Amino acid sequence: MIDPYVRLEALDMRYPGHHAVKDLSLDIAGGEFIALMGPSGCGKSTTLRMIAGLEQPTSGRILIGGQDMTHVSADRRGTPMVWQNLALFPFLSVEDNVAFSLKMRGDSPASRRRAANEWLEKVGLGGMGKRHISQLSGGQRQRVAIARALVTQPSILLLDEPLSALDAHLRVHLQTELARLHRELKITFIYVTHSQSEAFALADRVVVMADGVIQQAGPPRAVYRAPVNGFVASFMGMNTRMDGSVAARSDGMIWVDCPEGRIAVPDTVAAGPGAALSFVIGADRMRLLGGHERAPEGHPTVAGRVVGIEFVGSTQTIFVASDTGRDFRLQRLDLGDDAVLTPGTPVTLTWDPRHAWVLPHP
């Protein structure tokens, strides 16, 4: 990446008894949409707060637009944040909430009123400027918070789990609005979320964190299909991890001895006979063998029993416990046969061995 707009250099954040962020470095291009994700306590919100100037790093540097902002106060950074709890002023009108930062900047009443209403139009709240915050729905309040953050026309927008308090329908709707705003404004968005679906739907690049360290950063498809270690593979949620030892190599495949039998995976790592090896299979890569169907030659088979079925819109996730005790997940279009597949139903799983992903770092 050439001349990143945001550069985090060896950021470290220590609190008494807690090392929140550890030697974190990340370059973010101008206009890029970055999603920071990971479990609670992984350091993603602390990283966002350091970029905003709300936390002072123990060590390291933060550069924005080529300028060292490490010790610049939050109000002089031009890094507005949209909060999970919105932090709107309940005693002000919608228009005055949006215009608040312009008022603090010293803009004239006419210019800040005009700018506030222009942004309310852009977020779909035209004509609501005179209402009080208490008269708005949760989704409308979130739009006010976004308009307030953007009214100063910043070059970067920080978002800390902004959709987590909304219901599922509103989350999807506002995801679409955020994506539209990002395309139109062409500014840098840095977005913290617990939600894999939000991150994958919105971000150009996903940064997965754990224990204060970046585990993997890359396009959503790469992070999902090619996790670099066991943590990322398990965090993605819809992977089944298998462990075994290398038995042999042939025809571009490694044969791995697992409790489920000898299974072929792509030959992508240097590992000699007997070496431990782990690999994952995406839930959408697996399928069930029906009736007397046989798996294609070279495709593994795993026998087990259904332990649960999760229906989500047009897809279903089938949870299977293998006869060896391993948990598998299979995701497919809903075929209307969930009355047949009930907990306890015996099934046989298979997959194309070329779709297995060998973990470079188990």
pLDDT > 70? residue 337: no
Q: Which amino acid does the sequence have at 298?
A: G
In angstroms, the CA 151 to CA 118 distance is 9
The encoded tokens of residue 344 equal 């306890």
Cα four-point dihedral sign 102, 104, 110, 111: negative
pLDDT tens by residue, 154-175:
999 999 988 887 777 778 888 8
pLDDT digits (tens, 9 = 90+) for 276-326: 999 999 999 999 998 889 999 999 999 999 999 988 778 889 999 999 999
Q: Quick: pLDDT tens for 88-98.
A: 888 899 999 99
pLDDT at 353: 96
Across residues 61-82, what is the average pLDDT?
94
Contact assessment for residue 118 and residue 125, using Cβ atoms and an 8 Å cutoff: no
Q: Report how far residue 198's alpha carbon sits from residue 183's, in angstroms, rounded to the nearest whole number.
A: 16
Residue 2 pLDDT level (bands cut at 50, 70, 90): low
Which homologous superfamily does the CATH classification assign to the domain defined by 6-230? Answer: P-loop containing nucleotide triphosphate hydrolases (3.40.50.300)
Cα–Cα distance measured from residue 200 to residue 152, given in angstroms and rounded to the nearest whole number? 28
Mean pLDDT computed over 115-135 = 92
C-alpha to C-alpha distances, 37 to 70, 236, 262, nearest whole angstrom: 23, 11, 35
Domain boundaries, the chain: 6-230, 231-358
- Architecture in CATH for domain 231-358: Beta Barrel (2.40)
Looking at the chain, the whole-number percentage of residues with pLDDT higher than 90 is 75
Alpha-carbon separation of residue 305 from 237, 339, 342 (angstroms): 20, 15, 9
Position 338 scores a pLDDT of 55
Closest CA to 136 of 178, 102, 166, 181: 166
Tell me whether domains 6-230 and 231-358 share a fold: no
Tokens of 290: 């029906």
Average pLDDT of the chain to the nearest whole number: 92
